[in-house]
Amino acid sequence: MHLTPEEQSMLAGEQGKASQKAMQILETLGRIYGAERMLPVKSVQIAGVSYDNLGDAGLDWLAEMADGGGRTRVLTTLNPAGMDIENWDRLGIPPEFAEKQILVIDAFARMGVITTCTCTPYLAGNTPSPGDTIAWAESSAVCYANSVIGARTNREGGPSALAAALTGRTPEYGLHLEENRQPGVTVDVQARLSGTADFGALGKAIGERLESLGRRAIPYITGIDSASLEQLKSFCASIATYGGLPMFHMQGITPEAGDYTPPAERFTITAADLDAARQSLVDASPAEVDFVSLGCPHLSIDEVARIADLLRGKTVTKEFWITTSRPVKALADQMGYTGVIETSGAKFAVDTCCVVAPIRGRFHAMSTDSAKACYYAYSKNRFKTRLLDFDQVVREAVGEG
């Protein structure tokens, strides 16, 4: 693998211990995947931020990198943490967890990471341009960056993303190469889609069909006339969860779709397939639901505005978390949405989400519009789930479900 003099200097430890470790990680990855060189990256998104996932071993590693002089060389943002950094006590997070989580955030901050704590960095100041080389972790954001924005990133893990941040480099393999971005299978969608839950169900239906066919091919999706930012972020989260896919093309919608013709191998997703995917995520009755959450992936300001509209003058009857980034929450404050939402009894859970917060055992059944949240609510927290349309979720929270 060819390294520039600058990269060799990092590897030799001439630029500090943390840069050396980071370059060792990247050089090893590059050799494993047959990369010929490193690419400079424009931005990084780091996942693996919740102390619930990191534990003490992860915290120690981050502290060691910060103590070893690790400093970001490019714009670097953070995935959700295990709690709202400012209002963790209102969400019932134990103080001993909060103490550790704050140490994690501090270690990232010492390295110059912008502690946004969001899985929608593209709505919070880390917004790449088409063609940009980036190194992002967080499967939903990776899928969004590749597919919807047209930037180029592999699906990084926490350590490789941090290594990219501390060196400003990533090895050139996988989705950084044109030939690996070509679609391998056409998916013809013959169903009407109306909201984020439908797009999440579509991601599940396509992801699971590809898995059952044993195909990890990038799908070329036809038959969808339009899709909003919110619908696409829901779809990205779902297809990455259920199909492990870092990218798709959607005819007439995503920027690289026009570069390709639909592949000959194809299958169809019908309205019945979509309905089956939705129904598979409903195993709780309205009476059983004791936890309601919107914001997987983190909400846009439009979505927060819609929640405020629906909650105006109402009172929630169930624990209701609204998860978003701090910049979007600041806008909600400015627009008066926060006051309306909090007056209803709903809670903002900024910097975190219903999956990475340590809430296993606190609730029994959850309503959401997110197919991805359903998957992890069950697999991580053992909650029953109830997938509903966005507005229906809010109605259920106020006892009108």
Write out the residues near ligand F3S by the rule CB under 6 A: 79-80, 119, 140, 237, 296-298, 323, 353, 355-356, 372-373, 376
How much of the chain is helix, strand and coil, in % rounded to 5? 45, 15, 40
- Sheet containing strand 347-350, strands side by side: 347-350, 319-324, 291-294, 365-368, 384-387
Identity of the residue, 19 or 140, whose beta carbon is nearer to ligand F3S in the bound complex: 140
Rounded Cα–Cα distance for residues 107 and 125 (Å): 21
Least spacing, CB of residue 365 vs ligand F3S, in Å: 17
Question: Do residues 80 and 49 lie in contact, with contact meaning Cβ atoms separated by under 8 Å?
Answer: yes
Identity of the residue, 240 or 310, whose beta carbon is nearer to ligand F3S in the bound complex: 240
Least spacing, CB of residue 251 vs ligand F3S, in Å: 25
| H helices present in 269-369, as ranges | 271-279, 301-311, 326-335, 337-343
Chain mean position to CA 304: 18
- Reported as type and span, the H/E element at residue 376 is helix 371-379
Least spacing, CB of residue 203 vs ligand F3S, in Å: 12
Identity of the residue, 7 or 138, whose beta carbon is nearer to ligand F3S in the bound complex: 138
Q: How many separate helices (H) and strands (E) can be counted in the chain?
A: 14, 14
Identity of the residue, 35 or 49, whose beta carbon is nearer to ligand F3S in the bound complex: 49
Least spacing, CB of residue 111 vs ligand F3S, in Å: 21
Identity of the residue, 38 or 356, whose beta carbon is nearer to ligand F3S in the bound complex: 356
Identity of the residue, 21 or 233, whose beta carbon is nearer to ligand F3S in the bound complex: 233
Q: How many CB atoms lie within 10 A of CB 218?
A: 23
Least spacing, CB of residue 387 vs ligand F3S, in Å: 14
Q: Rg of the chain over CA atoms, in angstroms?
A: 21
Least spacing, CB of residue 393 vs ligand F3S, in Å: 14
